[in-house]
């Protein structure tokens, strides 16, 4: 599973992209977040307040209850500010 | 057509090349978004020296194409153009251009307005503003969310 | 700025010259109206070979200036441009250009939309369409009146 | 008083502009219309159905009850169709 971080989330994790292999019971975004937060204090800080975080799975906007599986591309980022 | 690019574009040339000579088209609406030299919503705020636009390559194009498709579902459009830049931008530089062409002026207006409103809340871009006090990520506005929501939900 | 003229204009050059380098401006909205090659509101109608736009010199400028002033009263605008042609026009030729520049995208959009809606019902222009069956004066649409009225009343 | 006709009204009157001197009791647009209709069959035809006619006095849109006086510029035309 590929995990991406953008904007200030990337600043907190210190990485833009990582390849991870969570345990099989990590089946949705909420479980993935809980598992990622154990990887480093930076991860924990980036994903601390999920009201400030948006998620995409395979480049589509999704909610915390969206399923995730091996091979997915999961991205975490703040609300967008383009245009 | 969607273009996501680091390099600048020429709005006049883009308009001149948009739906030229198409006599079914009665109206073209175009919006051009520019870098302002102040923080926030009111002139007189902290000076902005420039900004860096980060984006999510791949998802950006995918989302913009979905928004274009939604606009074409909702209005009878002959042409659609969205250009969005990323990377380092100075004040008064161009960020985004949206243009629509339709037989009907109201369709051209509404679809152009819709495209920029939806793009603002759905396309994965993030602005990092550079000021004398340092860099800071621009926060999303509730007002932008409200402007997008007046168009209702869609497939995009 | 208001321009009423017989000669053609270059929309790309007008856009390029509009509010250039003004770093207070966050958004420019532009509408370009073109001559369609069919009668009425739906492509497939009787073919139009061209049209002649009659106007009321003096009153036209006066009304357009009043409409510009009303837009500036309602929205914080840095620049306003209205160009409207009269005389003989072929299909796909340009008729009208409206552009607005503001710190705020919503103000740019709404004021541009307002200007064309009000202009359509207040500026003294009349279209004479030329078809194979002869010439006929275009009738005003109730829908244009409704579009203008959604902006409420004003001084103009 | 200068009176102007545009679009199909000009086609019916056969003139685009005329200088007229209505009697003193012609003090508003409605009275002016009634008086102008007596000038020729073309005038009568142009001003027959006032629902299809708009009026400007001194280049401002007005209603049938607007006052008119010597020296005014009064224009009759169909609902506008520019833009």
Q: Residue B156 falls within a domain, yes or no?
A: no
Q: Which of residues 25-64 of A touch B (CB under 8 A)?
A: 56, 59-61
Confidence bin at C42 (pLDDT 50/70/90):
confident
CB atoms within 10 A of CB A70: 10
- In chain A, residues with a C-beta closer than 8 Å to the C-beta of B125 are 80-83
Q: Do chains A and B touch (3 or more CB pairs under 8 A)?
A: yes
Between B143 and C33, where is the model more confident?
C33
The reply to whether B95 falls in a domain is yes
Query: Which residues, listed in sequence order, are joined to residue C86 by a DSSP beta bridge?
Result: none
Query: How close is the nearest chain C Cα to the Cα of B13, in Å?
Result: 6
| CA gap A80, B121 in Å, rounded | 6
Task: Give the burial class of B132: count Cβ atoms within 10 A of its Cβ; 0-12 exposed, 13-18 middle, 19 or more buried.
Answer: exposed
Kindly determine whether residue C33 and residue B91, on different chains, have CB atoms separated by under 8 Å.
no
Number of domains in chain B: 1
Residue B154 lies in a domain: no
Per-residue pLDDT of chain A (83 residues; tens, 9 = 90+): 999 999 999 999 999 999 999 999 999 999 999 999 999 999 999 999 999 999 999 999 999 999 999 999 999 999 999 99
CA B128 to chain CA mean position, Å: 17
**pLDDT given for residue C33 in this prediction:** 98
Q: Which of C116, C93, C95 is nearest to B23 (CA)?
A: C93
CATH number assigned to the domain covering A2-77: 3.10.20.30
Per-residue pLDDT band for C43 (boundaries 50, 70, 90) equals confident
Measure B6 CA to nearest chain A CA, in Å. 14
Subunits that touch chain A (at least 3 Cβ pairs < 8 angstroms)? B
Who among C14, C21, C34 is closest to B92 (CB)? C21
Q: Kindly list the residues from chain A whose CB atom is less than 8 angstroms away from the CB atom of residue B124.
A: 6, 56, 75, 77, 80, 82
What mean pLDDT is predicted for residues B71-81? Answer: 98
In Å, how far is B116's CA from the nearest CA of chain A?
Answer: 7
Please list the alpha-helical segments (H only) found in A1-83.
Answer: 8-13, 29-36, 41-46
Chain C residues close to D7, C-beta within 8 Å: 54, 126, 128, 137
A72 touches B: beta carbon within 8 Å: no
Q: How far apart are CA C30 and CA B116, in angstroms?
A: 14
> To probe the interface with D, which of C36, C54, C126, C128 has the most D CB atoms within 10 Å?
C126
B90 falls within a domain: yes
Q: Which residues contact B127 (CB under 8 A, 6 or more apart)?
A: A81, A82, B51, B52, B53, B137, B138
pLDDT at B155: 60
User: Exposure pattern of B91-117 as b/e (b: 16+ CB <10 Å)?
Assistant: bbebbbbbbbbbbbbbbbbbbbbbbbb
Note the pLDDT of residue C154. Answer: 78
Specify the pLDDT at position B41.
Answer: 74
Q: What are phi and psi of B118, to 5 degrees?
A: -70, -40
In a domain, C154, yes or no: no
Chains D, A in contact: 3+ Cβ pairs under 8 A?
no
Average pLDDT over residues B26-40: 94
Q: Is the pTM of this model over 0.80?
A: yes
Q: C156 pLDDT exceeds 80?
A: no
Q: Of all helices (H) and strands (E), which one includes residue B111? A: helix B105-122
Q: How is the beta sheet containing C87-89 ordered, strand by strand?
A: C87-89, C50-55, C125-131, C134-137
Please report which confidence band the pLDDT of residue C155 belongs to, taking 50, 70 and 90 as the band edges. Answer: low
Structure tokens given for C136: 């006929």
Q: Which domain holds residue C140?
A: 2-149
Contact criterion met (CB < 8 Å) for B24 and C13: no
In a domain, B155, yes or no: no
Residue D25: what pLDDT? 96
D7: left (phi over 0), alpha (psi -120 to 50) or beta: left
The CATH number for B9's domain is 3.90.1170.40
Asked casually if ipTM beats, i.e. exceeds, 0.85, the reply is: yes
Phi-psi category of residue B87: left, alpha or beta, with phi > 0 → left and psi -120 to 50 → alpha = left
Helices (H), chain C: 11-16, 59-74, 105-122, 142-149
């Amino acid at each position: 599973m590929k995990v991406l971080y953008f904007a200030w989330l990337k600043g907190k994790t210190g990485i833009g992209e990582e390849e991870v292999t969570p345990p099989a019971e990590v089946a949705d975004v909420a479980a993935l977040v809980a598992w990622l937060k154990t990887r480093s204090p930076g991860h924990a800080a980036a994903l601390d307040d999920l009201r400030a975080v948006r998620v995409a799975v395979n480049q589509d906007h999704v909610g915390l209850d969206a399923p995730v599986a091996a091979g997915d591309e999961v991205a975490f980022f703040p609300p967008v500010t383009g245009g | 057509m969607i273009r996501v690019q680091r390099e600048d574009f020429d709005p006049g040339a883009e308009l001149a090349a948009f739906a030229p000579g198409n006599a079914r088209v009665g109206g073209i609406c175009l919006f051009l978004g520019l870098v302002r030299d102040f923080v926030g919503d009111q002139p007189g705020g902290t000076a902005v020296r420039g900004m860096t636009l980060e984006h999510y390559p791949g998802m950006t194009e995918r989302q913009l194409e979905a928004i274009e498709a939604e606009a074409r579902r909702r209005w009878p459009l002959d042409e659609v153009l969205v250009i969005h830049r990323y990377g380092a931008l100075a004040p008064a530089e161009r960020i985004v251009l949206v243009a629509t062409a339709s037989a009907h002026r109201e369709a051209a207006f509404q679809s152009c307005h819709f495209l920029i409103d939806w793009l603002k809340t759905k396309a994965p871009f993030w602005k990092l503003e550079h000021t004398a006090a340092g860099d800071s990520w621009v926060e999303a506005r509730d007002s932008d969310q409200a402007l997008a929501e007046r168009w209702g939900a869609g497939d995009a």
